[in-house]
Amino acid sequence: MNYFEVKQKENQTLLICKGEWIIYKASSIEKEFKKLKLTFPLTIDVSSVNDFDSAGVIEFITIYKKLKAKGKIKVIGYNQKELELFKLLEPTIDIKLPHKKSFFLDDVGKAAIEGFKNFLLFLAFLGETFAKFFYSIKPKNFRYKEMVYHIYTSGVGALFIIALTSFLVGMVVAYQASVQLHKFGADIFIVDTIGISVTRELAPLITAIVVAGRSGSSYTAEIGAMKITEEINAMKSMGFDVYAFLVWPRILALVISLPLLTFFADIVGIYGGLIASKFELGISFSQFVERLYEVLKVKHYILGLIKTPVFAATIALIGCFRGFLVSDNTQSIGLQTTASVVNSIFLVIAFDALFSVIYTELGI
């Protein structure tokens, strides 16, 4: 026994508490106490305890209350300070802390309502963004500097990663297609496959997905952090319009840079295909370019590019909207950033499908 000692004296029991009654020992004290067999009347002597901290006193109070409920007890050997702590902490032992318990269906309901509310908020955000474009943004007070900064970070900054991904995608498509085409002896059709698929579908989609991951997430995090530090409130209080200051420069920056990035991805993607065709099917560079010139009509390239401003606006709008949804705890930045990337990638793909349907219906 490290913390207790039981002695029988005349017709009463003496419980001697000893050792260090501190926070790191409290669980051992509790365990030891459970093993004790005590009889009443009982005297508790605490004079041999050589260190009492508040957790130790709380442990003592718990024990004291348990024993008091069972029979007659008396405590001896305490000093003034210990008594003070005891008196101070004794009432706190009965305090019941409130617990928030949630039921599964509650959570489902809350999540559904939250989702619907967010959708309504997004509509409001969309409306306000466009209304502000006509009311408060004029060519002479537009934030060109901000916009150029965002073109630089989301556009120029993304060149390398977009070059790498589209080059690889071009190559992979060429390798996959070449196996099938070779079986039919239709080797040269690899050029049609690469040229049309990259310009119409792959380059716009891959670029938009990379930009959503890179820039959409950073828009959410930036605006979210500004919201937590009350910078957004500061701007509003000075009469600055957050749509003009934060939202529109970002939307326009992406609407300008995403088509340019896609154009760049077109070139690099076809180049990737060209290299793969050379090694896999032995089609020379001049043969490839000649065939490309014949089959790749400008319309394919334009149809691919038309989609990109829509993708860009989607990514920027979702990124900013999610940023404004950040509430005042740090966890919500992470949640909103995740939601922002997931939503924008999903919507980009959904819009891409919509464009495909429209193009097919129009027969172009």
Partner 1 sequence: MKKPIIKVQDLVTKFGDRVIHDHISFEIFEKEIFGILGGSGSGKSVLVKEIIMLLRPFSGKISIFGKDISTLSFKEAQELKRSWGVLFQFGALFTSLTVAQNIAMPLIEYTTLSKKQIEHIVAAKLELVGLKPFVASMYPSELSGGMIKRAALARALALDPKLLFLDEPTSGLDPVGARNFDKLIQELRDILDLTVVMITHDLDSIFTILDRMLLIADKKIAAYGTIKEVLASTHPFVEEFFKNDFVKKRYLKELNV
Would you say 20 or 146 has its CB closer to partner 1? 20
Would you say 89 or 267 has its CB closer to partner 1? 89
Would you say 58 or 191 has its CB closer to partner 1? 58
**Cα-to-chain-centroid distance, residue 212:** 13
Would you say 89 or 137 has its CB closer to partner 1? 89
Helices (H), 10-155: 26-35, 54-70, 80-89, 104-135, 144-150
Find the farthest-apart pair of alpha carbons in the chain and give their distance in angstroms, rounded: 114
Nearest approach, Cβ of 120 to partner 1 (angstroms)?
23
Contact 170, 273 (CB under 8 A): yes
Of 227, 304, 258, the residue nearest 150 (C-alpha): 258
Would you say 56 or 304 has its CB closer to partner 1? 56
* Footprint on this chain of partner 1 (rule: CB under 8 A): 22-24, 26-28, 30, 53-55, 58-59, 62, 81, 84-85, 88-89, 91-93, 95-100, 327-331
Nearest approach, Cβ of 54 to partner 1 (angstroms)?
5
Nearest approach, Cβ of 329 to partner 1 (angstroms)?
4
Structure tokens at 54: 């508040």
Nearest approach, Cβ of 244 to partner 1 (angstroms)?
28
Structure tokens at 145: 């500097």
Distances (CA, A) of 100 to 97, 103, 110, 162, 354: 10, 10, 15, 47, 45
Nearest approach, Cβ of 171 to partner 1 (angstroms)?
44
Contact 262, 203 (CB under 8 A): yes
